[in-house]
Amino acid sequence: MSGLLKSAKSIVPLLDRVLVQRVKAEAKTASGLYLPEKNVEKLNQGKVLAVGPGFTDANGNKVIPQVKVGDNVLIPQYGGSSIKLAGDEEVILFRDSEILAKINPDV
């Protein structure tokens, strides 16, 4: 028998999949009041934890993911496969082409 995976580090995405940890939104109002979990807005921002090797498309072209580990990215509201980890953590596997944009941290 076994249980939920302890760490996302053990997950090696296949094909052009990208493992993303969704950034948790501010759980406090500006004046410091804690928001109940269900009122905390689900941001569509995330951090890339791991990237698959890509795949060869129908015409033999090698398709490599555009994002790399450590990138901050914008992810769609829906889609992707969510994976529950031990300690109530959750990560999501997207196809590279589902990732909307990179977030440039220097701006």
Which stretches of the chain bind a copy of itself, using CB under 8 A? 1-5, 7, 9-15, 17, 19, 23-27, 41, 43-45, 52, 56-61, 63, 66-67, 74, 76-77, 81, 83-84, 93, 97, 99-105, 107
Of the candidates 6, 94, 7, the one whose C-alpha atom is nearest the C-alpha of residue 51 is 94
Nearer to a copy of itself, 31 or 61 (CB): 61
Q: How far is the CB of 103 from a copy of itself (least distance, A)?
A: 5
Residue 81: phi and psi, rounded to 5, are -110, 120
The token pair that represents 57 in the structure block: 């498309």
Q: How far is the CB of 27 from a copy of itself (least distance, A)?
A: 7
Q: How far is the CB of 15 from a copy of itself (least distance, A)?
A: 7
CA–CA separation, 16 vs 65, rounded Å? 6
Q: How far is the CB of 39 from a copy of itself (least distance, A)?
A: 14
Residue 36: phi and psi, rounded to 5, are -65, 145
3-state secondary structure at position 96: helix
